[in-house]
Amino acid sequence: MLNQAIYRINDADYQRTLNELNELLELSAIMRKPVRNLSLGERMKCELAVGLLHRPKVLFLDEPTIGWTSLPRRASRSFLQEYNHRTGATILLTSHYMAECDRPVRTHFDHRPRAAQV
């Protein structure tokens, strides 16, 4: 709710975006847990969701999967592709995991998501 007020997100947009992020990041199991009871990976997923609530057009992600196990880390690429497809956001990612950085996932250009040219 704090971020809703800071970014002046109306109730309908806030709820729609929250539901979408909940679906994409599978947050329903941890939404009501106290922060002190969350693992590092769970906290990182929540921080990512909070950072996306206002639907930024450019997203800079520095080590977004730190603390995630290998399975969710692989799923992060699918999440980023789906998020880009739904919103058209440009996503810049840094990571120490070379599998995440073998090539850019997607970029937004001319309202059509497509593979980035390297």
Phi-psi region of 27 (alpha: psi -120 to 50; beta: other; left: phi over 0): alpha
Q: Over the chain, what is the mean pLDDT?
A: 79
The tally of CA atoms less than 13 A away on the side-chain side of residue 17 is: 19
Is the pTM for the entire model greater than 0.75?
no
Asked if pLDDT for residue 32 goes beyond 60, the answer is yes
* Sign of the four-CA dihedral 90, 94, 99, 101: positive
Q: CB–CB of 64/76 below 8 Å?
A: yes
The predicted-structure confidence for 108-117, as pLDDT tens digits, reads as follows: 445 555 555 5
DSSP, res 29: T
